[in-house]
Amino acid sequence: MLADPRISWFDASDGQADGGIDLTDQRADDTLHIGTTTPRIVEDQPTKSDRIFGGTTTTSGLVVLVLLALVGLFLLLRSRDAFDVAGWSFFTRVEWRTDVDPPEIGVLGLVAGTVQVAVIAVLIAIPLAVCAALFITDYASARWRGVLTGLIDLLAAIPSLLYGIWGWLLLSEQLAPLSAFLARHLSWIPFFATGDDPELVQSMFIAGVVVSLMVLPIVASVTREVFAQTPPGEKEAALALGGTRWGMIRMVVLPYGRAGIIGGSMLGLGRALGETIAVTLLLPQLPLLTWQVLESGGATVSGFIATRAGADDFTTSGLMAAGLVLFAGTLATNMAASVIVSRSRSGVGVETV
Contact status: 181 vs other proteins (CB under 8 A): yes
Residues in contact with other proteins, shown as a per-residue x/- string from 314 to 353 under the rule CB under 8 A: --x--xx--x--xx--xx-xxx--x------x-----xxx
Q: How far is the CB of 20 from other proteins (least distance, A)?
A: 24
Which amino acid is present at 287?
P
Return the number of the residue (36 or 141) whose C-beta is nearest other proteins. Answer: 141
Residues of span 35-94 touching other proteins by CB under 8 A: 46-47, 49-50, 52-54, 56-65, 67-68, 70-71, 74-75, 77-78
DSSP state of 46: P
SS3 at position 63: helix
Return the number of the residue (21 or 70) whose C-beta is nearest other proteins. Answer: 70
Determine the interface stretch with other proteins among 9-17, 84-92, 97-105, 135-143 (rule: CB under 8 A).
135-143
Helix/strand number for the chain, H first, E second: 15, 0
Return the number of the residue (93 or 271) whose C-beta is nearest other proteins. Answer: 271
Cα–Cα distances in Å, from 156 out to 151, 213, 214, 218, 353?
Answer: 9, 9, 6, 8, 11
**Separation between Cα atoms, residue 30 and residue 28, nearest integer Å:** 6
Return the number of the residue (7 or 145) whose C-beta is nearest other proteins. Answer: 145
Contact status: 242 vs other proteins (CB under 8 A): yes
Contact status: 190 vs other proteins (CB under 8 A): no
Contact status: 34 vs other proteins (CB under 8 A): no
Work out which of 259, 275, 283, 297 binds other proteins, going by CB under 8 A: 275
Query: Using N-to-C axis directions, what is the helix angle for 204-228 and 172-185, rounded to 10°?
Result: 100
Residue 352 burial (CB < 10 Å; 0-12/13-18/19+)?
A: buried
Q: How far is the CB of 135 from other proteins (least distance, A)?
A: 4
Contact status: 244 vs other proteins (CB under 8 A): yes
Contact status: 247 vs other proteins (CB under 8 A): yes
The CA dihedral of 271, 274, 275, 276, to the nearest 10 degrees, is -170
Work out which of 105, 213, 283, 299 binds other proteins, going by CB under 8 A: 213
DSSP state of 103: -
Determine the interface stretch with other proteins among 24-32, 93-101, 186-194, 298-306 (rule: CB under 8 A).
298-306
Length of the chain: 353
Q: Are 299 and 284 contacting, i.e. CB atoms less than 8 angstroms apart?
A: yes
Contact status: 12 vs other proteins (CB under 8 A): no
Return the number of the residue (21 or 186) whose C-beta is nearest other proteins. Answer: 186
Q: How far is the CB of 67 from other proteins (least distance, A)?
A: 7
End-to-end CA, the chain: 42
**Separation between Cα atoms, residue 4 and residue 11, nearest integer Å:** 14
> What phi and psi, each to the nearest 5 degrees, are found at residue 308?
-110, 25
